[in-house]
Structures are given as C-alpha cells and as structure tokens.
Structure 1
C-alpha cells in the first residue's frame, strides 16, 4: 500500500525514496543425506543397462560435485520507488522521441506499441510559472463521448513541485479537450491546501488559458506537417521517410477526435476561429478527401460571397440532392455536413474570414444577379399566386421562382431562421423532444418552382386559361 501511495503522489520528486522491501530469491543449498541416498538408488536403477565404464565415470563425477537443491529464500533490501525521470524538467531539445513515447505509455497506462499522434513540451513564464507535457493519443477511447457533460474524468495530471495533486481538475482543460493526456507541474500553486480550495485559485484560470492555446497550436502543427494537408509547395527539406511517417496523420486525428473540435466551436466562443481552422469535411469538389475552410475559400469563384453547405444523413444522399443542381452547373463548391452535431455547430459558426455561411436547403440563396429574374417573376405571377392560395392550409408560407433547380420541377425549402429539414428529423428522433418547441422552431415552408421545367410551364398555361 505504501508503494502505491509513493508511486501515485511522489513519483517525480527530486530526492530518491527507498522502501525496505522483501522479495523471494532462488538459492542453492546442500541436499540432505536421505535425499542423496534416494537419488543414488534411483540413479542406479535407471542405469543398469548401461556399460560399467559409464557407471564408473558417473560415480567419479558425483563424488567431485556436492549435491545441492534450489529453495526459495526471503531477503530484504532497499528498493528505489521513484526511478521514472521527470522529462518535463529537462530541455525539450534534449529529450528524444523514444523518451517522449515511453513517458506517454507510462502516463496514460497505454500498453500498446502505438506512438502518440503529437506532443507539446513547454514552459510557461510570467505571473504563473509551470511546465507541461501534452499528448494527442493515437486513438480515441470507446467511451469518449458517453456522459460527455456529466463525467469528471480527466487525463491531465496536476503536480505542484513534483508532488501529485489530482487528475480530476476540470479547470485545467475544457471538456472538448478532455481526450488529451498529459501533465502540468506548477511551482506557483500552494501545496498545503485542500483540492477544493485549489480549484478556486486564480492561477488556474491563467494555466487553463495557456494550456488551451498550446493544445490548439499542437493540433494545428499536426495538420501543417501532414503532406496530405499542405498546399504550400515551398516546404522545408525533409527526408522521404519523415514525410511518409507524417502523411495521413491529421486525417487519423480527425476521424478519432473531430467531434471534439466541433463541440469546442459550440462551447468555446473565445477560441472559435482557431478551432474553425481545424475543421475538416468533404465537398462536391474534394474527390473523397477531407478539406479545410481555408482550402475552400482559396477555391471560391470570383464574386462568391458566401460559403455554401448542405446538411444530411450521408454524402451519397446529398450528392443527389436537387438543392445542388444549379450550384453544380455553375461550378460552385458545396460543403457536405453529415454528422448530427453539424446542425448544432452551424448555429454557432455564423461566419469565417468575413464569409457568411449559407445553407443551400434554406430560402435566401443568392447565386449572383440574373437579368431574367424580374421577367420570370412577372411571367409566373399568376401561377405562384394560385399555388400559394391552394397550399395556404398546408403550412406553406410562400411560392417563389427558384434559382437553385435545374432538372427538378419544384422543391420545398425551409425558412431562413427556422430548423432545416435535417435538423427537424434529428429533433423528432429524440426521445425527450418537446413537441411545442418543435412547432415553434419548425417555421414555415417555401415552395420554389423551376420556371425552366416543362411541367411548370404547362401548369402556368393551364392557370392562365382557367384560374380556378
């Protein structure tokens, strides 16, 4: 029990801690005479069929070697308990990659051979001084998002002057970064107070702020060093083995922890723009690969003011969506959001780099001015008026000429400030959903018609002839 206490709380303190420990060792001792005689008899009985010369040689050997046996004996000696080196006290330039990996496995109790995806070793100076090592694990634990808001579990250990204090401090990292493993060692925090008082200490806020910044820088660097992510041709000279080792690392990170980045955008308004840079998604032009918002903006058409996106259950479903017909024809790139959390994400991520986000399944889509818009609107005035009156009892608020359809005759879009159809589906599938709130947030529908489609043209002719 005393060994466990020392290992947990004083594993890394400067001076050595020994314990007077017992252990069993194998010792060779002379065999008893009775046992010797029994061994002689057994030896003689088994060797009768052998030649006399061989028996004589064995007898001579047995006379020369004293007979012994192995027994367990308890011995006592001083055992060093804190033999793991505190690598965070050393200069990062002096610590090897193997030492960082070995320390991660010790810290995270990870017994696999997988290397952490990234790590950051730094010293913070100023009003609050501390040293820290942060790791991005090679894979996500199965229960990462179970009881996300109720769990107090943390993978970050707090030390004060090399003495372990706690690994249950939510104040050190926000929940969306709880997947990180690591260690913080501060000389500023008081050692002789309770954990409850320590949680209220003003220095913790400063430590948290610096840890978040360093953690996001570490993840950003992981993306920058991945050859699959980089669009910069003028890269530093690196060996081919280094490049191949880093290839695909950010995709691996995103597949494991991407949801945490999205939750961070929802929860952390201060670092929302930094987190948005780490977002990855597929688009109509990404050819199955992940792309970033910066890469999307670099490919935007001249005169395009908004970032177009669409939400749904799968990429395959969205690729065949009628909402994309005109956008594809005009060569606009559209982002696919297929994770349920994306609907909540886009309620908080309103713009990026002065570009507004536009859901292409909602009303108000602008694809540039068309000189024929006014003519078409006037030409189909009778039809839209008739249709609006016919659908007034079906929760359809308006009927308009569409600028997003090409081959489809008509489509229903949701109002700009209400839920999208995908969000409505998500909310209806929740067990404890509030029906009254759903009715409020659902909003009105708008029917958009395609003036170029033969069916719509025929309907217009019939309404003109017979308005009833």
Structure 2
C-alpha cells in the first residue's frame, strides 16, 4: 500500500450499519440515488450561502449543478457536485465514523422485527444516507475538495469494516461519489443502475424538485445515409448533456398542481427520511410578512427525538435562496419533529442564527406556523382518529412539553392531548371526554403520576377512587410530573393529584359528620404518638378517606414537591429540597386498629415503635419510593417475622 494511503477502521456503530446495508435489509434499493443527490444538493446550498457570506472565498457559483455519469463497461455510477466539498477531517467525521448513536438498538429491534415491512420501518426511522450506497455497490470511492482549499481527499471502502483515505492533488471543488456496482443480475432488469431509463425514472420519482440542475450525458442514435443520395443508412451516435429534473420549487407551486407522490418525495428529501409523512401542511401568507411554507408531520419519531444534540427545525429560504437548514427559530422546541421549508420574502440573505433570535418577522412567522400545526393536529384528532392516535403515540410525549413553555397555546395543547386513564385499558382519553364522564357532583379532574400504568394502578392512593368509580388519569411520562403543577385547570375544572392534598371521598350515606369526629377522637392519641415517633420522616399523621385496602399511604402537600418531581430536577443537575410528607392511615384496617391497641396497652414498648417504623417503610415502598436505610428496614422486618413464627 502507498505510504500516503492510510487505512482506518470504521467506528463500531458504523460497522454495524454497513453490515445492515451490505446485506440489504432495506428492500427498496432504488432509494440510494435519492440519498446521494440530496447530499449533493445540500453541498450546493452550502457553497452558495458561503459565497454570499464570505466575499473573500474564491469560488465560482455561476453554474452550480449535479452530474450523473455512467460507465456501462466498468459498471460504475458517479454522482458529482461542485458544492462546498469536505476537508480530510470532515470526511473522517462524517463518513468514516457515524456521528449518531442508537445503531445497536436498531440492530436489536431489527432482529426482533416480525417481517420485512417492520424491518424497513425501523430503517426508515433511523435514516442511513450515504451508507445506502452499499446496498448496490461492492466498493464506493469518494473524491472531494473543500471550497477555498487546494488539497483534496480520496476515500474508498468495500464496506467490510475498514476504509482507506489519502490526500490528492488536482481534485475539482466539490464531491464525487463513484459506486462500483454489484454484478448485474440478468433476471433483475428493474435494478440496472447503468440504464438511462432507470436513472431518469429515479430522478423523476425522487429528485425532480431539486433546485439545481441534475445533468447526465445521454446517447442519441439516428439513422443517416451512408453517403449523400444513398438509400443505404448507418447509425449515428451522438452524446449530449441533458438536464433531467424540472427544478421547480414545490412550495411555490399551487397545491392542486402538486401530486401527493411529489409531496412525499420532497418530504423524504428535506427530512432525509424513508417513511411517508402523516400530514402535509402548505401555507402562503401575504401582507405585512410574506412567506410560503411547506411543512410535514412525520409518521414516525426519529431515534434522536430526545437527543439534545439532534438537529431540529425547518429549512429557511429567502426568495428561494437557501439560508440555513434546521432553523430552530421557526418552530418551538416541542414541535421539533416538524420538517419542511419556509421561504420568506423580506429577510436579508446574510441573516444569522443570532439575528434570527431577535427578528420580529421570524417571531411572527413562528407564531403563525405554530398555530397552523396545532390546528392541523386538532383537525386530525376529530376527522382522522386513527392517524391522530398514531401521531400521539409517536409524538405525544414531546407535544406535552409545550404545556410548560407555550402559555399562549396551552388551551389548544390541552385539547389535542390524550391520556391513559382508568376508564379504558386500551383507548386513551381527551380531557373533554373525561369531563363528559365526570360523576355528578365531581368538581375536579383526578390524576396520578408514576413510572408505569401498572405501578399506578397498584398504588394505595387509587383505592377509594376505584372503589367509588371515579375516573383517574394515569400519567407515566416524566414531563407529566412537571406540567400538572403548572396547569391549574381545564375549562374551569381543577386538576387534583390523588397523592397530594386532602381528598374527601366519603358520602353522607357512608359517614356522618358526627361519626367522623368520633373516629378522630378515637385515634387522636395514636396520631399524636406516630407524628412524634416518625418526626424524622413525616410532618403530619392523619386519617384517610383514600384507602380501602392498604393500612397507610404517604401524601404530599397540595403545593408541595413530589419525590418523583424532585428526582427529575436532580437528574437535570438541580438540587431541590424535599419537605417532609403526610402519613395517612386507614382507620378500618386491622393493622391500624392493632397498632392503636398496642400503643394504648404498651406505650413505651420498643417493638411498638418498630412497628410504626415498618408501617412508614411499607407505605413508602407501596408507592414505588426508596427507603433511606433499606438494611435497617430489612432487619426489623426479619426480626418481626421471626417472632411471629
């Protein structure tokens, strides 16, 4: 090997992804060309923008284009652009390694996928871009030179875990990717990527809307006389360079002139996605601020939806000139899954992300886009419930973040949100549906938070609610712990946690005021003693109307911070104090009655105090909490069990 040629290994995740591609997990191999053309289009956008911003950059942007070149004999297909290009380090970062996480998880899910369709869906969520080349090629060669630099880079790999990289002189500006195609299958003419008709059809299907010309040399054959006046003819072959895409900006065309398939392919291009969009939103605003927007709601959440470093936002154009991709100023963070294009008419071509943060027009566009997206989801909720259900399953957890940050649209967000509840094991409910089912005399919307539906259902806090037929929302997403404390009510109905504050579920038929007062007197000594005995852990001990089966439960003050919320803040690096909680007792439980009697008979007995400590510990465990001293609790429990045998 030449000493100037360096051989390197792919990053572990990249090797796994290459393995997926080489073994053709994704059956629609045609999509590789769309991915390469999309990458080339991005490179052209970037060099045009850089030339506008950097007047000292010595580049010619008068003829930005993509070129497709076929060599039938050598069985190669080259995709070439004269865009921004890459440095050697950028090649290693962007191609030699995989700058995304999650590949191992995808591989595991692929193994568990039940059929080919499920496998393709998973690959679609992940997105594979450049790596899709290995579905059709035995070897891929890339030559690139960064705009404004003199030295180029050659990269080559057969997709077997290693690649070679070297510096080259005389490389043209931009990037060329040459695919050494796999051997031709005589029975599979539909996948002959050296055929002109095939390449034309793929460009028309996937990339017709690309804003730059896609050129290809094509052969023209015609019969001409062997000599002037002769009836005998010969075939004359000429080669012409032809632009094979229309270059029409999809968002600038009337909606009735664009087919659904064209919208779908544009979405796949702009989002680098493999799935079809769930919803297409086309907008045109005239007046003070003129802009056009073409937005898409994906059908699947990307794997990096909760990755802080993920690129989010829609692409920003000014008068059809690309300004920046992933413009996060055009969409609130809780709608970061929205993909698409916004083409504004009155912004500067030199606008930066910092300027956008203060720009009045951008803020106005953002408000309008947000309202349009939310109204579209609301319409989907009422007219296409199955699509809405799919949307909420994929993105509901993210949308609920808006309840914290977007006060202006909070009412709409509450209307489009769905929650699991005790009403149905399968179908979630909206708050409007919950209110319609509220019992006569019920003034509050009850909810419970926890790590899982099953954990909440087994919580002692729900016992009386279930027994009396009150519906309870079961909130299991981490964001639920936060937003319920910031949203006071829904249409005048306060939200009430089943584990916070005082709740009186007794009816006049069940217990008179006099009977309740008598019960309070009966247990007064026990309540006072327990408060003193457990003063390190609880601030108050009282009788409960929530409990029907369990002996005790722990309650947070109406305006206090729950332990679960405190854990969320600590996980984000914020230290928050957690106040003592309230211990509620079930006066009808045999254990509580027995503890009351034992305290009356043996007030100074250490074993009675130990029983109180065990009571507190079991209440903490029953709600999924963690003991301060698990070893001591286990020792007390073992000792008590030993004496009972």
Question: TM bucket by the smaller chain?
Answer: 0.7 to 0.9
Q: Does 1:312 align with 2:450?
A: yes
Among 517, 520, 526, the residue aligned to 1:383: 526
CA distance 1:95–1:367, shift in 2 (3 Å) = farther
Q: Could you say if the C-alpha distance between residues 363 and 201 of structure 1 is closer, same or farther in structure 2, counting changes exceeding 3 Å?
A: closer
Of residues 415-424 and 337-346 in structure 1, the stretch that sits farther from structure 2 once superposed is 415-424
Aligned to 1:91: 254
Aligned to 1:408: 550
Larger radius of gyration: 1
Aligned to 2:580: 444
Instruction: Tell me the equivalent position of 1:225.
Output: 383
Counterpart CA distance in 1 for 2:339 and 2:328 is 13
SS of the aligned residue for 1:375 comes to helix
The answer on 1:295 being equivalent to 2:433 is: yes
Deviation for aligned residue 1:333? 0.6
Match of 2:241 among 61, 74, 77: 77
- Verify the 8 A CA contact 2:45 2:322 in the aligned structure 1: yes
Q: Does the residue aligned with 1:167 lie in a helix, a strand or coil?
A: strand
3-state SS, counterpart of residue 424 of structure 2: coil
Residues 322 and 204 from structure 1, CA distance in 2 versus in 1: closer, same or farther, beyond 3 angstroms?
A: same
How far residue 311 of structure 1 moved from its aligned partner, in angstroms, is 1.2
RMSD value, Cα? 3.4
Q: Distance in 2 between matches of 1:266 and 1:311?
A: 17
Distance 1:115 1:75 in 2: 37
Structure 1 residue 92: Cα displacement: 2.7
Q: Which has the higher contact order (CA 8 A, sep 6+)?
A: 1
Deviation at 1:391, TM superposition (A): 2.2
Question: 1:135 offset after TM fit, Å?
Answer: 0.4
Aligned to 1:137: 298
> How far off is 1:118 after superposition?
1.0
CA distance, structure 2, for counterparts of residue 457 and residue 302 of structure 1: 33
Q: In 2, distance between residues paired with 1:357 and 1:423?
A: 17
Q: How does 1:356-375 map to 2 (within 5 A)?
A: 356-367=494-505, 370=508, 371=512, 372-375=515-518
- Counting matched residue pairs gives 389
1: CA distance, partners of 2:477 / 2:65: 54
Residues in 2 aligned to 1:427 and 1:9: alpha-carbon distance in whole angstroms: 40
Q: Which residue in 2 is equivalent to 1:32?
A: none
- Which one of 382, 387, 392 corresponds to residue 254 of structure 1? 392
Tell me which residue corresponds to 2:540: 398
Report the equivalent of 1:455.
591
> Deviation string for 1:102-139 (max 9, x for gaps)?
221232232x3x32111211212331121111101121
SS in structure 2 at match of 1:289: strand
Confirm whether residue 182 of structure 1 aligns to residue 340 of structure 2.
yes
Distance 1:318 1:22 in 2: 59
Matched residue of 2:593: which SS?
Answer: helix
Residue-by-residue CA offset, 1:206-264 (whole Å, 9 max, x unaligned): 1111011011112222222234xxxxxxxxxxxxxxxxxxx3x2222122212211211
C-alpha contact (below 8 Å) 2:44/2:64 kept by paired residues: no
Q: 1:311 to 1:80 in 2, by over 3 A?
A: same
TM-aligned CA deviation for residue 446 of structure 1: 1.2
Which 5+ residue runs of structure 2 have no aligned equivalent?
A: 1-36, 49-61, 74-233, 605-645
Q: Deviations over 1:49-74 (max 9, x none)?
A: xxxxxxxxxxxxxxxxxxx9xxxx99
SS of the counterpart of 1:305?
A: coil
Decide whether the 8 Å contact of 2:506 with 2:545 is kept in 1. Answer: no
Going from structure 1 to structure 2, the CA distance change for 1:21 and 1:304 (only over 3 Å counts) comes to closer
1:165 counterpart (315, 323, 333): 323
Q: Secondary structure at the match of 2:407?
A: coil
Which residue does the alignment assign to 2:369?
211
TM-score (structure 1 length as normaliser): 0.74
Is the contact between residue 23 and residue 75 of structure 1 (CA under 8 Å) also seen in structure 2? no
Which of 271, 286, 290 does residue 108 from structure 1 map onto?
Answer: 271
- Equivalent-residue separation in structure 2 for 1:160 and 1:276 (angstroms): 34
Residue of structure 1 in register with 2:134 after alignment: none
Q: How far apart in 1 are the matches of 2:256 and 2:454?
A: 48
> Counterpart of 1:158 in 2: which secondary structure?
strand
Match of 2:226 in 1: none
Q: Deviations over 1:342-392 (max 9, x none)?
A: 212222223221121111112322436653433322332222223223222
Supply the distance in 2 between the matched residues of 1:154 and 1:322 (Cα, whole angstroms).
Answer: 42
Kindly state the Cα deviation for residue 431 of structure 1 after the two structures are TM-superposed: 8.2
Compared CA separation, residues 466 and 10, structure 1 to 2 (3 A): closer
Gaps of 5+ in 1: 28-67, 228-246
Candidates 424, 431, 456, aligned match of 1:286: 424
User: 2: distance between equivalents of 1:26 and 1:466?
Assistant: 98
Tell me how far 1:331 sits from its aligned partner.
0.4
Q: 1:125 to 1:252 in 2, by over 3 A?
A: same
Shift in Å at residue 324 of structure 1?
Answer: 0.8
Provide the C-alpha distance between the structure 2 equivalents of 1:137 and 1:5, rounded to a whole number of angstroms: 21
Matched with 1:46 is none
Q: Secondary structure at the match of 1:117?
A: strand
Q: In structure 1, what is the Cα distance between the partners aligned to 2:421 and 2:472?
A: 6
Q: Which residue of 1 aligns with 2:489?
A: 351
Are the structure 2 counterparts of residues 91 and 304 from structure 1 closer, same or farther at C-alpha, using a change threshold of 3 Å?
same
Q: In 2, distance between residues paired with 1:23 and 1:395?
A: 75
For the residue of structure 2 that corresponds to 1:277, the secondary structure is helix
1:298–1:103 distance in 2 versus 1, CA, 3 Å: same
Evaluate the alpha carbon distance shift between residue 195 and residue 324 of structure 1 in structure 2; reply closer, same or farther with a 3 A threshold.
closer
